Chains A and B, each alone.
Chain A
Amino acid sequence: MPHIEINHNLAAGKHEQLVKLCPFGAIEVAGGKLAVNAGCRMCRLCIKKGDGVFTLADDAPVNTVDKSLWRGIAVAAEISSGKIHPVTFELLGKARELAAKVDFPVYALLTGCGVSKLAGQLLEYGADEVFVYDQKELEHFRIEPYTAVLEDFIDRVKPSSILVGGTPTGRSLAPRTAARFRTGLTADCTKLDISPETDLDQIRPAYGGNIMAHINTPNHRPQFATVRYKIFPIPEKQDNPRGEIHSCQLAPEKLVSAINVCKTELKKNEKGIEEAEVLVVAGRGVKKPEDLSMLRELAGLLGGQLAFTRALVEAGWGDARCQIGLSGRTVKPKLLISCGVSGAIQFVAGMSSAEKIIAINSDETAPIFNVAHIGIKGDLYQIIPDLIRQIRESGQEVL
Chain B
Amino acid sequence: MEIDPKTGVLKRDGVESKMNPYDLYALETALRLKQQYGGVITAITMGPPQAQAVIREAFMMGVDRGVILSDRRFGGADVLSTSYTLAQGLRAAGEFDLIICGKQTTDGDTAQVGAELAEFLGIPHVTGVCRINDCNAGQLSCDLDLPLELQSIQIKLPCLITVEKGIFEPRLPSYRLKLATDDREIIMLTLDDLPDKDPVHYGLNGSPTQVKRIFPPENNNAREMWNGTEAENSKKLFDFLKNNKFLQQLR
Contacts and interface: CB of A to CB of B under 8 A. Distances in A.
Nearest to A266: B149
Interface in A66-83: 80-81
B205 A80 contact: no
Given A42-B76, A398-B251, A383 B246 contact: no
A377 B230 CA distance: 9
A17 interface: no
B96 interface: no
B210 A215 contact: yes
Contact of A303 (B83, B229, B251): B251
A364 B205 CA distance: 59
B233 to A, nearest CB: 5
A262 B154 contact: yes
Nearest to B157: A258
Nearest to A25: B15
B174 interface: no
Nearest to B199: A1
A386 interface: yes
Interface string A201-229: 10001111111111111111000000001
A210 B246 contact: no
Interface string A362-399: 00100001001111111100111011001100101111
B11 interface: yes
B241 A302 contact: yes
14 contacts: A140-B151, A168-B146, A179-B119, A184-B207, A185-B80, A208-B109, A211-B216, A211-B217, A220-B208, A259-B124, A262-B141, A373-B223, A386-B235, A396-B242
Contact of B83 (A60, A179, A186, A214): A179
B148 A212 contact: no
Contact of A396 (B49, B116, B248): B248
A45 B210 CA distance: 14
A7 interface: no
Contact of A217 (B156, B203, B208, B241): B208
Contacts of A23: 1, 9-12, 15
B71 interface: yes
B246 A302 contact: yes
Residue among B8, B116, B120 facing the most chain A CB atoms (10 A cut-off): B116
A372 B223 contact: yes
A174 B112 contact: yes
Contact of B71 (A26, A38, A173, A205): A38
A172 B246 contact: no
A374 B226 CA distance: 7
B111 interface: yes
A265 interface: yes
Given A178-B116, A211-B1, A171 B204 contact: no
A267 B148 CA distance: 6
Contact of A207 (B1, B222, B227): B1
A203 B236 CA distance: 30
A8 to B, nearest CB: 17
Contacts of A25: 12, 15-16, 48, 50
A168 B73 contact: no
Nearest to A385: B234
Contacts of A387: 234, 237-238
Nearest to A395: B248
The 10 closest A-B pairs by CB, nearest first: A42-B76, A184-B208, A23-B10, A40-B75, A386-B234, A175-B112, A39-B48, A382-B230, A187-B110, A179-B119
B48 to A, nearest CB: 4
A144 interface: yes
B80 A168 contact: no
A175 B250 contact: no
Given A23-B15, A37-B48, A387-B238, A184 B75 contact: no
A320 interface: no
A381 B22 CA distance: 45
Contacts of A398: 247, 249-251
Nearest to B16: A25
A117 B100 CA distance: 38
Nearest to B229: A378
Interface size range of chain B in the complex: 35 or more
Residue among B125, B209, B210 facing the most chain A CB atoms (10 A cut-off): B209
A364 B227 CA distance: 9
Given A171-B112, A267-B150, A396-B248, 14 more contacts: A39-B75, A60-B205, A80-B147, A175-B79, A176-B119, A184-B78, A210-B2, A213-B213, A214-B213, A217-B210, A267-B149, A374-B226, A375-B224, A396-B242
Contact of B217 (A147, A210, A375): A210
Contacts of B204: 1-3, 42
Interface in A327-350: 334-335
A116 interface: no
B131 to A, nearest CB: 13
B163 interface: no
B211 interface: yes
Residue among B111, B159, B237, B242 facing the most chain A CB atoms (10 A cut-off): B237
Contact of A208 (B1, B50, B78, B234): B1
Interface string A28-54: 000000001111111111001100000
Nearest to A167: B147
Contacts of A174: 112, 115
Contacts of A262: 141, 152-154
B175 interface: no
A383 B237 contact: yes
Nearest to B113: A175
Interface string A349-369: 000000010100000100001
A180 B120 CA distance: 8
A261 interface: yes
B80 A143 contact: no
A55 B191 CA distance: 24
B118 interface: yes
Contacts of B120: 179
